[in-house]
A and B are shown apart, each in its own frame.
Chain A
Amino acid sequence: MEDIKILIIDDVNEVRGLLRTLLMNIGFSKIEDAKDGETAKMKCQKNKYDIILLDIELPDYSGIELLKLFIKEYPDTAVIMCSAHSTLDNVKASLLAGAKSFIVKPFSIRKLQNALAKAKN
């Protein structure tokens, strides 16, 4: 768990903070965040992340678009989609595009743990 690098991508500052707190609490220490797609892309170019937590709606990018890009560029990185929407179209599109998991906001720590477990496998 120590070595796993995680990138949080969400436009709401507090959600990023919350996710960071939750992840640290679970036991992860190498956590970074990005407030939009462009920042995330830049960070990904510099660092190799094991897991990306990606919000489906960002100011500059659609989450699915970004997901496809990450899967293509960094096939070893597991992407967990986060959304406030639970419409099955989004879920199915994310899985089809290669997302490892899909969690709906607000989520419990248990759900996050399950999603991370699935992503790590």
Chain B
Amino acid sequence: MNDFFKMLKIDPFDEELENKFRHQLSLRARPFFSFIYWAGGLIVLFYFIRSLLIDTSSIILLSRAAYFIFWASLVYKTLYAKNTISFDLSYIIYVVGGTLFTALFYGILEQNSQLLITSILLFLIGLLLCQLRAKVMAWVSIIAVVNPALVLYFHQGLTQEEISNILIIGVWACCTFIAAIIFEGVNRKIFSFSQALKKSRDNEAEANQAKSNFLSLMSHEIRTPLTSIIGYSELALSSKYDQEVSVKALTTIHRNSRHLLTLINDILDLSKIESEKLILELISTPVLTIIEDAASIVRGNAIDKKVTFNIEHQWPLPTAVYADPTRLRQVLINLLGNAIKFTQKGSVTLRVSYQNAALSFEIKDTGIGMTELQQANLFQKFSQADSSTTRNFGGSGLGLYLSKKIALVMGGGIIVSSELGIGSCFILTVNAKQDGIKFSNAPPKIEKNTYTHKDIKQVTGHVLLVDDYDDNRNFIGALLTSFGLTVDYAKNGEKGVEKALHGDFDLILMDIQMPVMDGIEAMKLLKNIGCGSPIIALTANAMSHEIKSYLTAGFDDFLSKPIETAIFYNKITKYLATNKSKITDKSNDFDLTALTKSYQNSLINVVNKLKKAQSNNDWHTLEKICHQIKGAAPSFGFKKIGEYATIIESAATAKDKEKSDKTLKLIYQNIKMLSE
């Protein structure tokens, strides 16, 4: 019962949604209306013509003519209106329709009970209309219940048939009214469900659209530098060692590759910002050193373009503030890089000042400048001043967006002022409000921290490089060799573990994603068996949480791909140095002469056993003896014998007579040489 009343209680939507709902209902009700209007109209027309034929002066004629015109106009409205009939119109229809019904009702009572069908039709119109506007429903309920009651009350002496007709109409009206409310409830449910469905579809479509836009933009951004890389590499390959062409091609390939790397780093940052995972590492940051760092990176470009680049310090300045040094450097490089990029002649000036507990970096250039409209879109994702900028000056269109976000996270911001053709001025502010801040009046002495191949000192050591990608393995191997290191290679984790078990490495470089056995599993296995060599993860997955997971898994350190020579060299030498000092090689400190002599004698004795096994084709004994020799001989310095024993062991396993005979001959010769 409660459910039934619950169903009768109708919660209206908000205004906008209610209008939508009514509109949809009226659209659905339209065919009913047209049918009922036509039918009702024809009946009215029929009675109009009939009254014309009977009595032309009758008042009924006039009223019927008026009804006929009314119906005709409704039919016209319903059929030819651009939209569906308006809500207000439907209200009027009902009120007039209700009056008409009352009039016809009297007609039934006083003239002709055959008009019953017309009145029912008219009443249905009212009930259908009540679906269009909630307010109308109240009227319907009053008219449906009160009207027959009033008629019964004022018309004493009605016949039994007439009273039953009125009652039937009353009951009919009440039922239709309840049915209308139930339909209303059902309609509302269907409507809200379809709205939710539409909304989720819209959201999905919107997300898909955003994804497609992003992918197509990325595809474009990645393809552009790749076009140069592929084109120039093909040119360099076909130019048959033309030095000039090769140098130009390699320079372009290098520049475009660096651009791709920047783009990918920016996308990673973007994903962090979008997922609100950009966490700053706030430490005491030597601001002046950071400024010099950033300046040293962009200065080269300024010199190449013959643009003057100055730094003006407004002393005193804090020596250190709590900030994220990497991010601060990133923003400064981006702003300074942009200023130099968009300045063809003139100067770029960085003015650093400290006021109101904030560090301010003002970057002023005499470049191309921007219009107000361009400035308004400047800090949006993927929007440079205009698309032609990308073609002329390059860039992902993410730099400023990221810089602004980072500045905001650091408690500051970036503001811009610019004039087209005159130049631009970007002001970066960083919160520097903290206790015990120290000030300086002079720039710090900066140690040179840029590397070239000439700076690299040769080092010694044995490195195992495990990587499945041939080109990377070859390149990194060549780089390690150029440092002076001996390199062993493995193609996957399993081979890597086997090599590490056999060899003695000062350092192991391990790729993460590899077939057969991945880097993490291989590293864990090596650590479990007590491999003392430091293992560095070599990975293209450079997201900070991934790096953290590698270190937690047990890697000693990580190096990200693509390789930055300076960072790579520093890390490699760090581990080689510590590893060397930690474990001192004492292998020459003790005397193994007696043991070696004894083993030498046992080898001479073993020849007879080998010969016997060989002649008897006793593969099992042959395999067993050689296995022992393989393990022991190299320990006493008989490496060659150990190698032959390995070959014979595998030949015996495979019962390869030819191979084993051939190698046995060699091992006999070697052992014989020992005894001489």
> Closest CB-CB distance, A89 to chain B, in whole Å?
11
Is A71 interfacial (CB-CB < 8 Å)? no
> Closest CB-CB distance, A107 to chain B, in whole Å?
8
Instruction: Using known A-B contacts A15-B631, A117-B530, A118-B530, determine if residue A21 contacts B590 with beta carbons closer than 8 Å.
Output: yes
Instruction: Using known A-B contacts A105-B631, A105-B635, determine if residue A17 contacts B598 with beta carbons closer than 8 Å.
Output: yes
Is A95 interfacial (CB-CB < 8 Å)? yes
- Surface stretch bound by B, among A34-42, A60-68, A108-116: A108-116
Is B627 interfacial (CB-CB < 8 Å)? yes
**Residue pair B632, A110 in contact (C-beta under 8 Å):** no
**Residue pair A14, B595 in contact (C-beta under 8 Å):** yes
Is B54 interfacial (CB-CB < 8 Å)? no
Please give the number of chain A residues whose Cβ is less than 8 angstroms from any Cβ of chain B in the complex: 43
Is B587 interfacial (CB-CB < 8 Å)? yes
Within 82-121 of A, Cβ neighbours of B (below 8 Å) are at 82-88, 91-92, 95, 99-111, 113-115, 117-119
Bound-state CA distance A104–B531 (Å) is: 11
Instruction: Using known A-B contacts A17-B595, A18-B635, determine if residue A110 contacts B628 with beta carbons closer than 8 Å.
Output: no
**Residue pair B602, A113 in contact (C-beta under 8 Å):** no
**Residue pair B532, A95 in contact (C-beta under 8 Å):** no
Bound-state CA distance A113–B575 (Å) is: 18
**A83 contact set on B, CB distance < 8 A:** 631
**Residue pair A25, B586 in contact (C-beta under 8 Å):** yes
Is B494 interfacial (CB-CB < 8 Å)? yes
Instruction: Using known A-B contacts A88-B497, A91-B501, A114-B532, determine if residue A21 contacts B631 with beta carbons closer than 8 Å.
Output: no
> Closest CB-CB distance, B306 to chain A, in whole Å?
57
Is B567 interfacial (CB-CB < 8 Å)? no
Is A57 interfacial (CB-CB < 8 Å)? yes
Instruction: Using known A-B contacts A57-B627, A84-B630, A102-B530, determine if residue A21 contacts B595 with beta carbons closer than 8 Å.
Output: yes
Q: Which of B502, B528, B634, B642 has the most CB of A within 10 A?
A: B528
**Residue pair A104, B502 in contact (C-beta under 8 Å):** yes
Is B529 interfacial (CB-CB < 8 Å)? yes
Query: Can you name 25 A-B pairs with beta carbons within 8 Å?
Result: A11-B628, A12-B602, A12-B631, A14-B595, A15-B632, A15-B635, A18-B595, A21-B595, A22-B590, A25-B586, A57-B627, A84-B627, A84-B630, A84-B631, A85-B627, A86-B502, A88-B497, A102-B529, A103-B501, A105-B630, A105-B632, A106-B631, A106-B642, A113-B583, A114-B530
**Chain A: residues with CB nearer than 8 A to chain B?**
11-15, 17-18, 21-22, 24-26, 57, 80, 82-88, 91-92, 95, 99-111, 113-115, 117-119
